[in-house]
Amino acid sequence: MGKLLWTPYQNIEIPNDAVYCATPSRLTKYTDEIINFVGRNRLGKPFHPLREFPYEMYEGNSNVGRFLTMEICLRAVTLCDKFLIFGVSDGTLEEAKTAFQIGKPVQLHFNDWNPGDVIWKHEYERLGEGHGWPLDILLREF
């Protein structure tokens, strides 16, 4: 049995060997592609927040909103076994900071599933300082 995550709508079971797939909302249309990439490459059981926490029910719902949605996402990061990041945004950088703080294995997958995408670089230059440049160590190896 996995671990249970409370949300305002349901308890979600996070399976053992779950990998958190941190993805900016601007890449929502690639959710299935990212999930397939994780499965195809045997990186673990994908837990994708954009699939588990639909915008209309969570962040876009005035009864839940951005703050509580991020709290739920950060809790999910703690319950997953690994953390994979597929793009850069304020949300994914906050999630990455949490993963680093609690010692989760973190992997960058910016170009693996979407070769040639450079938006993440521009976003990291724009947002990184405000989050303490959490990806710098991994980017040296990237």
Please report the pLDDT score of residue 43 as a whole number.
96
Please report the pLDDT score of residue 116 as a whole number.
62
Strand partners, 4: 13
Cα–Cα distance measured from residue 105 to residue 99, given in angstroms and rounded to the nearest whole number: 8
Query: What's this model's pTM, rounded to 2 decimal places?
Result: 0.91
Say if residues 84 and 96 touch (Cβ distance below 8 Å). Answer: no
Please report the pLDDT score of residue 19 as a whole number.
98
**What's the N-to-C CA distance of the chain in angstroms?**
35
Q: Could you tell me the CATH number of the domain that includes residue 13? A: 3.40.50
Segments forming the whole domain that contains residue 68: 3-141
Please report the pLDDT score of residue 111 as a whole number.
77
Please report the pLDDT score of residue 1 as a whole number.
72
Indicate the DSSP class of residue 26: G
| Mean pLDDT of successive 10-residue stretches along the chain, which has 142 residues | 88 94 92 95 96 93 94 97 96 96 94 71 92 90 70
Number of domains in the chain: 1
Q: How far is CA 104 from CA 11, 12, 64, 117, in A?
A: 23, 20, 27, 25
Please report the pLDDT score of residue 113 as a whole number.
65
